Structure 1
């Protein structure tokens, strides 16, 4: 019964924004600008602000109220997979939209595939249930902030998600605001996005199989495997994060190609946040006694995000130099844009991971202790 209730809540909650937007489109195509009210005129001329208004009123406020009533903020996780689909269709159908037909359809199709992959992973992880639990980080913060959590959650969960979700979807706006002919950079962007989806799918599938196998071993009273060190996870401690970042930075290439290079801001913020989340996840691993020793060794020999060959503990510092060498490649490629377009693209994609590699390899000896003691910083993240 609870599962059915959550299904209804999840389907009904976004309807206010959807119905309002459909009403706006209906009014526009029936009347144009001839008898537009101030509200419809504003909606017409400010597509980015309207998208943010929808998010603030429908997600930040309404989702927050629902979360308070249910004492669980599970719904924002589910809608991470849905909101980008809603936004790309919103930008594509806005009356001021202008775009290359092929580019638009390819981006929409890839976004649908990305969403289906992530939704499948979400429900598979939740055993095909709706709203069984909220993100473990939200639960930790709930305990940390106690009676203040009801208002802290608005900023920590919802307002921050507006920055991330609307931000990473800015390339969708770029794609539907410039009518430029399809070119080689679109092919590069598609290749990066598809690689990201494929990598994330295989990484999440390997992780799910590992967890399922351990659950079976535990049920049989047998020793469980402390650490996943096979497949993509042999070359990266977080290949699923790497694949997800490839997807978002692949979209940035679309925006950059269309003269909207500023759309990288959302992906940069998202990458920086995920860098910190990576540290939280790894600290959580190290608190589990049965896997702590194995995971420490895994940390010393395996790349953080960017898949790379295993290294010995003595070679750990050399890997830092490998990371910085990517920076050099990036600037060399920028200097020869017309000669090395694919190298430029590759360098751009890995740049988002450099912060993580350097940060965690150096073990964050100063920054992380400061952030752990600074609740306001945690709140922003």
Structure 2
């Protein structure tokens, strides 16, 4: 598409078309987190929120597609394409996390963050869980879904960017799915028969292929949803993939996990030769 097409959407046009979908996504996310908080109260586990993380994006994307069509009356092929892509990613992630969490107690990260156990003071534990986990994740989920919201609210300015974005997202989903499958296969081997650190397959090139894949998913959705709607929508939604990458690398993802993994025998040597995030050929020993 031409430069005129890419710059034709101004800030006023963006906000006018975006706000119904932004409001819809906010209400959907709030409802999903409210239900999840109730489930956490019953199960005494804040970690149930991890399943809602993927499902929440799917619900917001599906609701956005429906509202987008209702607002302007068009069929909006990109709306349903974005919803389908998010559904593939989000449902796979939710299913994987649900299966991984079965039979396990509270996630140590959440236990450390909250600082109070439910058996010690159930009310304080729940209030802190809502404030430090559910509200924070609800806001993050809504913010990170901005490119999808915008892509479902505005006409397409560049279909080739949509194609590139979907391709990048597909790469991300493959990295996540394959990395998770390889790690699950490694964990099924008895400890006495497996190496102390997983360093084969994708894990040979990056210490966190699933986190890298997650980042690719949201950079791809930004290309297909935000930037493919024009330069103004692209700049307005750039915070979404940047925030997601920051969370994955520095906040709740790789860096936090590295603190624990660094104490495992063989991990410092593995870390010395393997890229932390972006896949790279391993360094020579």
The two structures have a TM-score, normalised by structure 1, of 0.61
Residue of structure 1 equivalent to 2:143: 167
Whether the 8 Å CA contact 1:236–1:304 is kept in 2: the answer is: yes
Residue of structure 1 equivalent to 2:43: 70
Of residues 56, 78, 94, the one that matches 1:103 is 78
Matched, 1:157 2:130: no
Cα offset for 1:198?
A: 1.0
Matched, 1:93 2:66: yes
Alignment of 1:1-381 (within 5 A): 46-56=20-30, 58-94=31-67, 95-96=70-71, 101-126=76-101, 129=102, 133-143=105-115, 147=121, 148-180=124-156, 183-213=159-189, 217-218=190-191, 222-254=192-224, 255-259=226-230, 260-261=233-234, 262-276=236-250, 277-287=253-263, 291-292=264-265, 294-312=266-284
Residue of structure 2 equivalent to 1:336: none
Cα offset for 1:177?
A: 1.1
The alpha-carbon distance between structure 1 residues 117 and 66, as it changes in their structure 2 partners (threshold 3 A), is: closer
SS at match of 2:181: helix
Residue of structure 2 equivalent to 1:342: none
The alpha-carbon distance between structure 1 residues 45 and 169, as it changes in their structure 2 partners (threshold 3 A), is: closer
Cα offset for 1:86?
A: 0.8
Whether the 8 Å CA contact 1:204–1:240 is kept in 2: the answer is: yes
Cα offset for 1:251?
A: 0.4
CA RMSD of aligned residues (A): 2.5
The two structures have a TM-score, normalised by structure 2, of 0.80
Number of residue pairs aligned between Structure 1 and Structure 2: 256
Whether the 8 Å CA contact 1:167–1:267 is kept in 2: the answer is: no
SS at match of 1:96: helix
Which structure has the greater CA radius of gyration? Answer: 1
Cα offset for 1:162?
A: 1.5
Most deviating of 96-105 and 77-86:
96-105
> Runs of 5+ in structure 2 lacking a partner?
1-17
